[in-house]
A = this chain, B = another copy of it.
Amino acid sequence: MIKKRPKYHQIIEGAIEVIAQNGFHASQVSKIAKKANVADGTIYLYFKNKEDILISVFREKMAYFVEESAKAIDMKESASDKLAEFIRLHYTLLSESPYLAIVTQLELRQSKPELRYEINNVLKDYLNIIDSIINQGMEEGNIREGVNPKLIRQMVFGAIDETVTTWVMEAQRYSLVEQAEDVHQLLVHGLFTN
C-alpha cells in the first residue's frame, strides 16, 4: 500500500520534516521538493497548492490517529477508561513523531480562514471520538448532568491540546506520556478535592 503513489508519500514526509524545521512560511515548495527528491512541478501533480500539502499532512496523520484511537478505546469498557486510553495514545503517537507534533501544534495554527475551515473539517472525526466517549459517560450516568456536552468536549480537547503545545514549545524536553495519568485524573475528578 505504501508502494502506491510513492511520490505522494515522499512529499508528505518531506514536508513534515521541512516544515517542522523551518516553519510553514519559510518552507518554500522547492525546499520540500528537494527533501522529497522530486521536481518542484511534481508537487502540483499531487497537491492543489502549498496549503494543500499542509492540510494533507494533517488529514493523512489524523486519519491514522482516528483509526488507532478507535481501535484502542474499543478495548476498554468504561468511559473513564476509554478517556484515559485516548489521552495516553494521543501522547504516545505524538511523542513518536516529534516533527509531526511541531507541525500540528504550531505550524498548522495558521490564520487563513479557508485553512481554518479545512482543519476543523479534518478534526471532526477526531472530535467525534471524544464525543462518543462523553456520550457513553452520560448514558452510564457518570458524567455531570446539565452541562452542554460540547463544552465538556472543549475541556478535554483544550487540556490535551494545551499540554501538548507546552511540551512542544519546551522543545519536548520532558516525557509527555508520563503526564497522561495525571491529566486524566484532573479531567475526571477536577482540580479540587472538595
- Chain A interface residues (CB < 8 Å from chain B): 23-25, 79-80, 106-107, 109-113, 116, 120, 134, 137, 141-145, 147-148, 151-152, 154-163, 166, 169, 179, 182-183, 185-194
Contacts and interface: CB of A to CB of B under 8 A. Distances in A.
A101 to B, nearest CB: 13
Contact of A161 (B151, B158, B182, B190): B158
User: How many monomers of this protein are in the complex?
Assistant: 4
25 contacts: A23-B112, A23-B113, A110-B111, A116-B169, A134-B191, A137-B192, A142-B194, A144-B185, A144-B186, A147-B182, A148-B179, A151-B163, A151-B179, A151-B183, A154-B159, A154-B163, A155-B163, A155-B186, A156-B191, A158-B161, A159-B159, A161-B162, A186-B190, A188-B190, A189-B190
A80 B191 CA distance: 10
A134 B111 CA distance: 32
